[in-house]
Amino acid sequence: MKYFGTDGFRGQANEGLNVDHAFKIGRFVGWYYGLRQERKARIVIGKDTRRSSYMFEAALTAGLVASGADVYMLHVIPTPGVSYEVVDGAFDCGIMITASHNPYYDNGIKLVNREGYKMDEDVLEQIEDYIDGKCDVPLATGEDIGQTIDYMQGRNRYIAHLIASANFSLQGVRVGLDCANGAASSVAKPVFDALGADVHVINNAPNGFNINVHCGSTHIENLQTFVVREGLDVGFAFDGDADRCLAVDENGHVVDGDLIMYLCGRFMHKYGRLVKDTVVPTVMSNFGLYKAFDELGINYEKTDVGDKYVYACMRENGYVLGGEQSGHIIFGELEQTGDGIMTALRVMEVVRAERESLSVLCRPVKLYAQRLDNVHVSDKTGAMDSPQVRAAVEEAEKFLEGNGRVLVRASGTEPLVRVLSETPADDLCKQANDIVLAALEPYKA
């Protein structure tokens, strides 16, 4: 598609993605779910804390109301909060304004269908046609013009849902939270407070520009230091829209998405809760995770990178656990999308039930060394289709002599080609990646 990638319509605010785009998206969505069917559409909107989110919220709302939709405004809320509220509040559609883990000057618009899943591609294609002027939709008039409703109770219901999902107490547990100066800032602490934890929070003072800046799951070294310095039992870091979570154990070691899938998968398998004894990771997950699952008798079905593909596989096969190394974990019995705060709660469920520290629970997994290089390119398709790049990948894998792997893939949201090597030793990773990076040199932006 032209505008919508694997995770919504992304771009630098008022450059790649501007207010005209937002207004038109609102116009089409409001008509599609409302006037087109001669009814009043109900749309719920949330946003993260970056400065431009307020601008896009206003543009989307204007378009929606002009097309006759009633707009329910959740204000700042994690992306999974929008997905939850679409279903809980029986809305026609949900919209989240966020660029997730990207810098403040980027933004994005994610659309969620009435079932809480990412929007159907046929609808996105129709929106793109409208943006490009290939079709037109009428304006609402008279009593058909929509209205805006302050919908803070929706966020409160989402918080209550998170608390209710935990049937355990965190009394006496010292928990650190890094809210990335993003959407988790107004949600995460109240949830852990309600469960009785001794909560210590950093990076929860958003100012519109500091979202994801040297904080959160993309800069977890700050939480590592904080957990050790404060003598905490565990720490959790979220990204800008709080759909991802990485953990830090009591020794300051990172527990990434692969390790979270391991400890939750093992726990669910032990108690008969892991449907078909299968977890759904992506091709980017560590080879050590697969070996650990093999030893436990747990199956795994790998997908392409992106929670969209993980959840599609889970939904099609009835699986209840899947995710990405980046910390985007999906618990299919509880949600339709990844939820960083929910992930943190599920980790604490395992810690409390097993009466072990996070470091001990993760100890059986022996992760392979990984090296990931991101190459900015001018033509992702050309780079990925290049015979020279393909030959370089084959050469790199031959160099590893079967004791590792090399994976090259294009980013779904950015002009990047990602080169990942995975071997028992760091120096081998670098040498394998260098072979492929040399072949990508002509395509650099």
Enumerate the active-site residues. 100
Give me 193's structure tokens. 């407070």
Give the separation between CA 21 and CA 131, rounded to whole angstroms. 7
State the CB neighbour count (10 A cutoff) for residue 313: 17
DSSP type of residue 444: B
Give me 43's structure tokens. 């749309």
Q: Positive or negative CA dihedral for 10, 14, 15, 19?
A: positive
Q: Tally the residues of the chain.
A: 445
Amino acid present at 108: G
Give the separation between CA 384 and CA 388, rounded to whole angstroms. 10
Report helix, strand or coil for 87. Answer: helix
**Torsion, CA 222, CA 227, CA 228, CA 234, rounded to 10:** -140
φ, ψ of residue 96 in degrees (nearest 5): -120, 130
Residue with tokens 């760091």: 426
User: For the chain, give me the number of helices (H) and strands (E)?
Assistant: 15, 19
Give me 306's structure tokens. 């992106």
Q: 129 to each of 35, 47, 96, 136, 365, how far by Cα in Å?
A: 18, 25, 21, 9, 48
Give me 34's structure tokens. 């409302």
φ, ψ of residue 358 in degrees (nearest 5): -65, -35
